[in-house]
Amino acid sequence: MPLKIGLFGFGRTGSVVAKEITNDPSLSLKWVCRRSTDPSIPFASRVLGYTEDFAPFISFDEMDDSFLRTNPVDLVIDFSSGNTTSIYEKIAAFNIKVVSAISNYSSEEIEKVKSASQGTAILYSPNITLGINWLIMASKILKQMIPHADIEVIEEHFRQKKDISGTALKLARHLDLDPQEHVNSIRVGGIVGKHEVIFGLPYQTIRLVHESINRAAFGTGAIFAAKWLQSQPQGFYSMEQALQQSFKNRLQEI
């Protein structure tokens, strides 16, 4: 049977993720939760271009025990604008797993997510694209091989993005870099998201680059995470763990 999915958020990225979910025959989009709903557009399916009525819109105010009981899902994918962590404890009580792709959690919100993970499996990644998480893993390995290299992180995004990329901060943390000194931000129109890690050595430079050219990349990553998480017990997971385990499994098959 298809994995039943609930989606938080239907903005620029969330709507693209919804489309990717509906394109996957092993998944079933059951409902979409957003800040406000329009009675004239009750179904996400219509916005996505389908002629059938499925995946109704609901507001976060409607996300109560009664709704979760009558509209069960296996897993929630969160691409909302944030402030949804208080709901995680509620859905964890129904053994619903969560893939969270929120990029701007506060330390208090992270603790709420970790607390909810004591009751269900939660995978959190501020940038859930497969490529960026391979970039993080490759950067960590390369630093171990050349620990004395000069390292700089460059992140480029669309002009409207105000905060420093959560992914760039994660890269800096994994590479033991001070973000204020080693994370460089660029904001220009037309860029979805680009991250680059530069390793400077005498007589040579190594550049590791990942660029998202379409927001569908976030959907691909979220779907990968959802399928991996479905077989995991309760706990707090990262995309890196999912990739590492999948990589090890593939090596054993070779």
pLDDT tens digit string along 25-63? 999 999 999 988 888 999 999 999 999 999 999 999 899
The answer to whether residues 248 and 132 touch, using CB atoms and an 8 Å cutoff, is no
* Polymer length of the chain: 254
Q: Where do the domains of the chain lie?
A: 3-124+216-239, 130-212
Phi, psi of 127 (to 5 degrees): -140, 110
Radius of gyration for the alpha carbons in the chain, expressed in angstroms and rounded? 19
pLDDT digits (tens, 9 = 90+) for 136-162: 999 999 999 999 999 999 999 999 888
Phi, psi of 124 (to 5 degrees): -115, 130
Fold of 130-212: Dihydrodipicolinate Reductase; domain 2 (3.30.360)
What is the CATH number that goes with domain 3-124+216-239? Answer: 3.40.50.720
What pLDDT, on the 0 to 100 scale, is given for residue 219?
94
| CB count in 10 Å sphere of residue 218 | 26
Topology match between the domains 3-124+216-239 and 130-212:
no
> Rounded CA gap, 58 and 184, in Å?
39
